[in-house]
Amino acid sequence: MQNQEIRTFGRRHGKKLSARKLWLMDNILPAISPKNIKKAGNLILEIGFGNGEHVRDLAHNYPDSLVVGAEPFANGVAALLSAMCDEKTNEILPEYKNIFIWPDDVRDYLRNTDSLFSQIWVLHPDPWPKARHEKRRLLSADFLTMLSTHLSRGGQIIIGTDHWEYFDWICEQIKTTKLKYSTPDLETIHTRYQEKNKAGTTAPKYIIIKK
Q: Classify residue 15: in a domain, yes or no.
A: no
- pLDDT confidence of residue 99: 98
Residue range of the domain that includes 50: 42-210
Q: Classify residue 118: in a domain, yes or no.
A: yes
Mean pLDDT on 163-183: 95
Q: What CA–CA distances, in Å, run from 68 to 51, 71, 116, 117? A: 14, 10, 11, 10
Q: Classify residue 25: in a domain, yes or no.
A: no
Q: Classify residue 67: in a domain, yes or no.
A: yes
- Give residue-wise pLDDT tens across range 76-130: 999 999 999 999 999 999 999 999 999 999 999 999 999 999 999 999 998 856 6
Q: Classify residue 189: in a domain, yes or no.
A: yes
- pLDDT confidence of residue 17: 87
Using the predicted structure, report yes or no on whether residue 211 has a pLDDT greater than 90.
no
User: Of 54, 100, 75, which Cα lies nearest the Cα of 11?
Assistant: 75
Q: Classify residue 164: in a domain, yes or no.
A: yes
Q: 104, 108, 126, 168: which one is catalytic? A: 126
pTM of the model: 0.86
Quick check: 156 and 120 in contact, CB under 8 A?
A: yes
Quick check: 122 and 159 in contact, CB under 8 A?
A: yes
Average pLDDT, the chain: 87
Please, which pLDDT band fits residue 3 given cuts at 50, 70 and 90? very low
Q: Classify residue 31: in a domain, yes or no.
A: no
> Which comes out higher in pLDDT, residue 49 or 126?
49
- Give residue-wise pLDDT tens across range 50-65: 899 999 999 999 999 9
Total domains, the chain: 1
Mean pLDDT on 137-159: 95
Q: What CA–CA distances, in Å, run from 182 to 46, 55, 113, 127, 156? A: 19, 23, 27, 20, 11
- pLDDT confidence of residue 193: 53
For residue 64, the domain's CATH number is: 3.40.50.150
- pLDDT confidence of residue 202: 63
Mean pLDDT on 194-205: 62
Using the predicted structure, report yes or no on whether residue 20 has a pLDDT greater than 90.
yes
Q: Classify residue 68: in a domain, yes or no.
A: yes
Q: Is 126 a catalytic residue?
A: yes
